[in-house]
Structure formats: structure tokens, C-alpha cells
Chain A
Amino acid sequence: MLSATRLTYRINRFEIVAIGVATLLSVVVSAAVVAWLTQSGYTTCRGDEFGNPEPRCLNMSAIGGWVLKIDRVSLSLVPVFPFIAGLVLGAPLVAREIDRGTARLAWSLSPSRLRWYVHRVAPVLVVLGATAMVIGVVADRLLAAVITDEDLANSFMGFHGRGVLIATGTLLIGSTAIAVGAVLGRTMQTLLLSLVLGGLLLTAVSEVDQRLFMPNETVVDASNNYSDRNLYIDSRFQLPDGTLATWDQLVAIDPSVMENGPNYPNVSLIIPGERYRAVEGREALAELGIAALLLVAGAVVVLRRRPG
């Protein structure tokens, strides 16, 4: 297996090195940003009532602005990582072998195509999962460096853009690309179709979670103090008897609201930040499950198809 892993690395070395270098660069830059922000205390700088910075912050503003910008740009790029890494590593894995004809050689040598498939897919999935997990942790640290007054383990801040969901999302996109590549056997077409299909699947996981599971977890927040800490789901009007109504339901109950406006308190349906780990874990499991199904589908296609 060690030799097979090494050869898989050699065959896909350009893609693996590219993703590895990008991850390493991201870690180095992020570590520097987080270290500077943590040690300088820049994020706790507050201006006085006239907008003048605190004396200790005076010399930091020039560099601090840049560091904050790097932090935010890095955070905004994190959700793109699953697509880039998943497609770059996943799409060529099977598709290119069929495209270039090397599958003919490999499948004529190997009585078990499944063995060939496992030799190809397993090392790449390990690289994908590991690099994406690193990026997920990096995103956590970058966010924690600028949001110092929040317990991110109990907050939906940066939901889908940090932590384990980056890793599982990357594995989902990668598995999509592997399965699509096995069907199409063409690298470019695989890249394009997997981009669309992978995006749809990630959205679908979130949507299904929101429709099926989150309604059981939502609580009514009457304070209307919107906070990123909680996951906002929807808003309702609260009737005097305590029941909640959408605008359409309200119009049906009390048509006068059309002319007089709604004189009922507006409340938010939220999932409290304390539920973050549970929701994150559930979506991560769903993404892993779909990724596993796609990998099995890819294996079935490899077992049945022509080598090109």
C-alpha cells in the first residue's frame, strides 16, 4: 500500500503539491496574522467618544489595518477552498486516467479494478481531508483573533466558513469530482459538472437540514437584538394568544393590517449559539455520508465501464 500511495502521489504530484503549498502558505500567513493580532491587542482598541484611538493603539493603526484586511480576505477565501481543492485533486483522479488512456494499462494489469480505485482514491482523500481540516482550523483561529469577545464553540459566527465543515465540504466536492470523472472520463467536463453538482449538493445539505431538523431546534427570540452568535432562521408576528404567524397568515387573520400596518410584535426564530456544535456535527455527518455514497458510485462505475 505504501508503494501504491507513493505512486499515486507521483501521478498526481502537481495537484497535491499545489494544494499543499497553498495550505502551507495559508497556515504561515494566518499564523503571523493571528500572532500579531493576539499579541498587539489591536482588536480590543476602541476609539474615544470623538473617534480618537487609545494612546496604546496609536502606532498600530497603519499595520493593524493591513493585518485586519489580510485576516478578512483570508476568511472570505476559506469557503472557496473546498471547491478549489476538491476539484483540483478529485476531477483528474479517474477522469484523466481514462482521458489519457493510462486506465487501459492499469486495468489490464490489475485483475481487481477496485484495488486500483482504492489505491488512487484513498491517498488523495487523506490529503484532501487533512489540508481542508487545517484550513478549517486556520479559519477558526483567524475568526477568533478578530472576534475576541465570543466563544466560537457556541456561536454560529462564520457558520459553513470554518471548522470541520470545511473538511467535510472539501471531501464532498472531491468525491463528487471523482464520481463524475468516472462517468465522463473527461477532465475538463468533469471540472465543470462537478463545480455545479458539488455546489448544489452543499446547498442541498444545508437546505435539507434547515427544513427537516432545524424547525425542531428553533426558539423564539422576542428581543429582536439580532446577533451573529445565533443562527437566524425566520421572523414571525406574535399574536396576543402567543401563536406565531407569517405575514400571509396575519393578513388572513386580521386583514386590517394591510391598511394599518402590523401592530403585533415581530419576533425572530433562531437557533441559539449553544447548538452550534450539534448543527455543525449533523451537517458534517450528512456531507460525509453523501461523499461516501458518491465514492461507492464511482467504484461501481469504474468496475463496469470501458477504460476509454
Chain B
Amino acid sequence: MVAALEAHGFGKRYRRRTWALRGVDLAVPDGSITALVGPNGSGKSTLIRSWIGFERPTEGSLLTGGVDPRRDRKGAVTRVGYVPQSPSLYSGLTITEHIALAVTLREGFDPELAAGYVERLSIPLTATAGELSGGEQAQVGLALALGTRARILLLDEPLASLDPLARREFLHVLVEAVRAAGHTALLSSHVITDIEQACDRLIVLGKGHTLLDLSIAEALAHHRVVDGSAGPAIPAERVVGSFPSPGGEPLTLVKVRPAEPIPPEGLPDERPATLEEVVIGHMAAGRVRRAATRTEAAA
């Protein structure tokens, strides 16, 4: 597997105390659309910002398109198109002026391509960014990132403030553009349903660590949900984590080999896990692990 983005023992500590991430090892395959999921404060933005050289690793190393962003930030930025968490447009500039600005800042920026994406979404090029809705601003941000023609797209929770229709349109443009050009995209998000439709790979971060790094198909095939809390019938090493269903009933996420029942003789309440349950189960596991670490540290 050729990796577009890599992290090797990556750690980032803020203000000499809080570790946002530690010991992260992962690789985002070239040509994939990967979802980066995790609760607030799990370090998703830190990781994305580090790949573009906005943050310096405290330990470990990163590679962005084969380039270490700490040593060669210019090289890393050149390889990346970035859509920040909150729309970062100049409120007084028109969309045309944003495209002109990108041309002045980035060699090889394709103004026609960027303008084409904006126009396709019926966003007037003469409108100022201040006149646009949050969704439209996110679309413009994506169009600017696509206009760079960078092989890697980093999208830091661009869907957070969008309504469902705007989210769908955003993902449609993203997937189409990335698939057509054979590029790589890393998309951090909380919205699991959208990820399932758009992404082919899933990375779950929790409490500063990688909790899961699989293709979407593998993530679904390798997990089952059992009604009720993990009982003695399930081998402990198979239990990922317990969490409540929307109705409040306890559910347990367990790891399996594809097409293998759990335990070998099976359980009556076992069923395939949804992607949301896979993510939530691993997040719950991360929380329990964190609490245990804290207790050990306190002891």
C-alpha cells in the first residue's frame, strides 16, 4: 500500500502539559477517501493541522505525500489542499476575488476549475463571502482546495455547521472530484451516516490514540453488536466496548473474524454492527481505557 499520509509514533503536547495525541501510527492509502472520526478533543484537528505543517510534532514524525512537514513545510503545503474547520474566507471579498487571491498565492492554481465548482452549486461568483450561508462558504472553501489540484485533500470537519442538504452536496462534489482525479482525501467528521456514503476507510481517534484504522467494509465485517452488557459468554478479548442504544438499552460491540459467530456457538441477540455502532463502541472503549489509565496513575 502506498501511503499519501503517514504518522509514526506521532505525539503533540500543548503548553508542556496536555498531550493532544500520543503514539499515533497510521497510514492513509493513496487514492482513498478516509474518514477521521473521534470525539471532541480527540486530536483530529491537531493531526490534520500537523500534516499541513501548522503544528509541529512534539515527538514522532509525519509524512505528507512523502514529505516531512516539519522539515519541508513548503513541500507539504504544495502537496495539500486544505479546508479548515470554520470557513476562513475574507468576508469583504467576492468569490472571484478569493479565486484571484489563490492565484496570487499558489503557483499552478486552476481558477477555472475552482470557479466551475462554485458555479455548479449556483453560488454567485460576484457575491461577497459575508453574504453566503455557512454551507456555501464551506463549498467555496472546498472549491479553493480543489483548485489547487493538490493530490491530497485535508478536510477538517467541514460538515459541522452544514444542514443535511448542504452536507450531501458538499460530499457529492468532494467524492466526484477526488474519484475523477484519483486523489486522496482525509475528512474529519462527526456525522457517521455521511461518512459511510462518501468514505472507503475509517480511522477512529480517541483520547489521543488510534482506536481503529480499517476500510469501511472491514470495519463492518469485523464487528458485531450484542444486546445487553458484555456477559461471561463473550471472550473478554473480543469485547470492544459497551454503550447505550438510542432507547437506553445496553449494547456491546465485539470483534469477530468475518462470517464467524461469537462465541463459536453464537449468541441469540447477536447482529451485524452499523458503522455508527462500530465508531461509538470504539469511542466508549477509548473512554474506559482512559479512565483506567487515570485510576492507575492516581494509585
A residues in contact (CB < 8 Å) with B: 3-4, 7, 10-11, 13, 100-112, 115-116, 119, 306-307
4 more contacts with CB within 8 A, not counting A11-B93, A101-B86, A102-B88, are: A108-B54, A108-B77, A109-B109, A307-B54
**Cα separation A100 to B107 with both chains bound (whole Å):** 25
Contact (Cβ within 8 A) B106 A110: yes
| A3:B84 contact, CB within 8 angstroms | no
Write out the residue numbers on chain B whose beta carbons fall within 8 Å of the beta carbon of A307.
Answer: 54
> Nearest A residue to B72 by beta-carbon distance?
A111
A7 to B101, CA, bound (A): 7
Given contacts A101-B86, A119-B104, A306-B54, contact A109 B92 (CB under 8 A): no
The 24 sampled A-B contact pairs (Cβ below 8 Å) are A3-B100, A7-B93, A10-B93, A11-B90, A11-B92, A101-B84, A101-B88, A102-B90, A104-B54, A105-B144, A106-B101, A106-B105, A107-B54, A107-B77, A108-B82, A108-B84, A109-B101, A110-B105, A111-B74, A111-B78, A111-B106, A116-B105, A119-B104, A307-B54
**Is chain A's binding surface mostly helix, strand, loop or mixed?**
helix
The complex places the Cα of A11 from the Cα of B88 at a distance, in Å, of 13
Given the complex, which residues of A lie within 8 Å of B148, measured CB to CB? 109
Q: Please, which residue of chain A has its CB at the minimum distance from the CB of B76?
A: A111
The answer to whether A109 and B105 touch (CB under 8 A), given A104-B84, A306-B55, is yes
Q: How far is the CA of A164 from the CA of B96 in the complex (A)?
A: 40
Contacts of B77 in A (CB 8 A): 107-108, 110-111
A117–B148 Cα distance when bound, in Å, is 20
B84 in contact with A109 (CB, 8 Å): no
Shortest beta-carbon distance from B93 to chain A in Å: 6
- B residues in contact with A109, CB < 8 Å: 101-102, 105-106, 109, 144, 148
User: Which residue of chain B is the closest to A112 with respect to CB atoms?
Assistant: B74
B96-116 vs A, Cβ < 8 Å mask (1 yes, 0 no): 010011111111010000000
A10 engages B97 (CB within 8 Å): yes
In the complex, what residue of chain A is closest to B154 when comparing beta carbons? A108
**Hey, which chain A residues are within 8 Å of B84, CB to CB?**
101, 104-105, 108
The yes or no answer to B52 lying at the interface (CB within 8 A) is: yes
Kindly state the separation between the CA atoms of A31 and B92 in the bound complex, as whole angstroms: 35
Provide the bound-state CA to CA distance between A106 and B145, in Å.
11
Select from chain A the residue with minimum beta-carbon distance to B102: A109
Interchain CB contact under 8 A, B52 and A102 = no
A108: min CB distance to chain B, Å: 4
B93: which A residues are within 8 A, CB to CB?
7, 10-11
From B88, B102, B105, give the contact of A104 (CB < 8 A). Answer: B88
Q: Which residues of B are in contact with A by a Cβ distance under 8 Å?
A: 49, 52, 54-55, 73-75, 77-78, 80-82, 84, 86, 88-90, 92-93, 97, 100-107, 109, 141, 144-145, 148
Q: Which residues of A contact B90 (CB under 8 A)?
A: 11, 102
The answer for the CA separation of A111 and B107 in the assembled complex, in Å, is 9
Residues in A neighbouring B74, C-beta threshold 8 A? 111-112
- The residues of A that contact B78 with a CB separation of less than 8 Å are 111
CB-nearest residue of chain B relative to A119?
B104
* Nearest-Cβ distance from residue A12 to partner chain B, whole angstroms: 9
Q: Is A3 a contact of B54 with CB atoms below 8 Å?
A: no
Q: Which chain B residues lie closer than 8 Å to A104 at the CB level? A: 54, 82, 84, 88
Q: Is the CB of B92 within 8 A of A4?
A: no
A306 to B45, CA, bound (A): 13
When chains A and B are docked, how far (Å) is the Cα of A248 from the Cα of B102? 67
Docked Cα-Cα span, A106 to B55, in Å, equals 16
In Å, the complex CA distance between A13 and B145 comes to 26
**Nearest-Cβ distance from residue A111 to partner chain B, whole angstroms:** 4
A101 to B89, CA, bound (A): 8
Smallest beta-carbon distance B77→chain A, Å: 4
Q: Which residues of B contact A105 (CB under 8 A)?
A: 84, 88-89, 141, 144
Complex CA gap A115/B84 in Å reads 21
List the A side residues contacting B49 at CB < 8 Å: 306
Q: How far is the CA of A101 from the CA of B75 in the complex (A)?
A: 22
List the 4 closest pairs (A to B, CB-CB), nearest first. Answer: A110-B105, A108-B82, A105-B88, A101-B88
Contact among B73, B80, B104, B109 with A4 in the assembled complex (CB-CB below 8 Å): B104
- B74's nearest neighbour on chain A, judged by CB, is A111
Tell me which residues across on chain A come within 8 A of B81, comparing CB atoms: 108
Asked if B104 and A7 sit within 8 Å, CB to CB, the answer is yes
The interface residues of chain B lying within 8 Å CB-to-CB of A115 are 105
**Chain A minimum-CB-distance residue to B145:** A108
CA distance A7 to B90 in the complex (A): 10
Assembled-state Cα–Cα distance A1/B102 (Å): 13
Known contacts A3-B104, A105-B144, A111-B78: A10-B109 contact under CB 8 Å: no
A142 vs chain B, min Cβ distance (A): 36
B129 nearest CB neighbor, chain A only: A102
Please indicate the chain B residues that have their CB under 8 angstroms from the CB of A119 in the complex.
Answer: 104-105
Kindly list chain A residues whose C-beta atoms are within 8 Å of the C-beta of B144: 105, 109
Contacts of A107 in B (CB 8 A): 54, 77
Chain B residues within an 8 Å CB radius of A103: 88
**Chain B: CB-nearest residue to A5:** B104
B80 touches which one: A11, A102, A108, A306 (CB < 8 A)?
A108
Residue of B nearest to A101 (CB): B88
CB distance from A118 to the nearest CB of B (A): 11
